[in-house]
Amino acid sequence: MSEVDKLWELQTVLTALNEREKQMSVKPESFAAVDREFQAANEEMTRLQTQIDALAKERRRVDGELSDQQETLKKYQGQLMQVKNQQQYAAAWKEIDATRKHVKDLEESVLKNMTETDGLQQQLDAHKGGHDALQARYDEAHSEWQHSLSDLRAEAEKLRARAEQIEAAIPERLRNEFHKIYRQRQQVAVARVNTDTCSACRTRVRPAVAQQLKRGELVHCEGCHRILYLERPAS
Ligand SMILES: [Zn+2]
């Protein structure tokens, strides 16, 4: 196997490895779709629960105020029994009226709070009802994805080992040259020649260069400076 052949094989293995790594870094659409649905349902349930909690807190505050006002009302009603003149009587009644009105407002606010809480609770219950089925679909899609990842990981591991093996058989100077071009040229250091053209940059290969390629010599593309590879019949 010539040095160019080894470099070409290294390029092929690294390209396949990059492809696996790219596949591993993205969620497959089959999982992404159920993941979006699952996250949206969870967010909606959290949102409903937060609203219900806020209403419950408000309810406790209103209940406290309501019982204070009811106490106050009793106090004024007691005073009413002890008034000594018309003026005190009128003043006590004025307080009682104002307090009754306040109590009524608070009771209405409790009713409104209960109605809102019921509505939100119904929505939350509906979500919870469908949640087990959604969770099951999510778990299944997730485990399928993880399974496909473990296949990809195993393939990537083999390719990495193969790349190391090939590199060990390439002289250091050439290996360094390969990696320099690989880094600088979008991870393609070796480009295949198809019908006398560099497949990476479309530059024509001059006949003299084509002759060198046919002899298995290491030549660079005059357009992109990548190492050129021409598939030759096995000799
Ligand atoms: Zn080129």
Model pLDDT for residues 201-234, shown as the tens digit of each residue: 999 999 999 999 999 899 999 999 999 999 877 6
Rounded to the nearest angstrom, the distance between the alpha carbon of 213 and the centre of ligand 1 is 14
CA 8 – ligand 1 centroid, Å? 14
pLDDT at 81: 87
Residue bearing tokens 């008034």: 83
Q: What is the pLDDT of residue 196?
A: 93
d(CA 227, CA 214): 14
CB burial of 159-178 (b: ≥16 within 10 Å; e: otherwise) equals beebbeebbeebeeebbebb
Ligand 1 centre to CA of 224 (Å) is 4
Task: Compute the distance from residue 188 Cα to the ligand 1 centre, in Å.
Answer: 10
User: Residue 1 has what pLDDT?
Assistant: 79
Q: 153-161: long-range contacts at Cβ-Cβ below 8 A with a sequence spacing of 24 or more? A: 153/24, 155/20, 156/17, 156/20, 156/21, 156/24, 159/13, 159/14, 159/16, 159/17, 159/20, 160/17
pLDDT of 2: 87
Are 7 and 90 a contacting pair, CB within 8 Å?
no
Q: Quick one: what percent of the chain has pLDDT higher than 70? A: 99
Q: How far is the CA of 181 from the centre of ligand 1 (A)?
A: 12
Q: Which residues of the chain have pLDDT under 50?
A: none
**How close is the Cα of 211 to the center of ligand 1, in Å?**
17
Q: How many angstroms does the Cα of residue 185 sit away from the middle of ligand 1?
A: 10
CA 190 to ligand 1 center in whole angstroms: 9
pLDDT of amino acid 79: 87
Alpha-carbon dihedral 80, 86, 88, 92, rounded to 10 degrees: 50
Cα dihedral 55, 60, 61, 65, rounded to 10, equals 130
pTM for the complete prediction? 0.63
31 Cα: distance to centroid of ligand 1 (angstroms): 39
CA of 75 to the centre of ligand 1 (A): 97
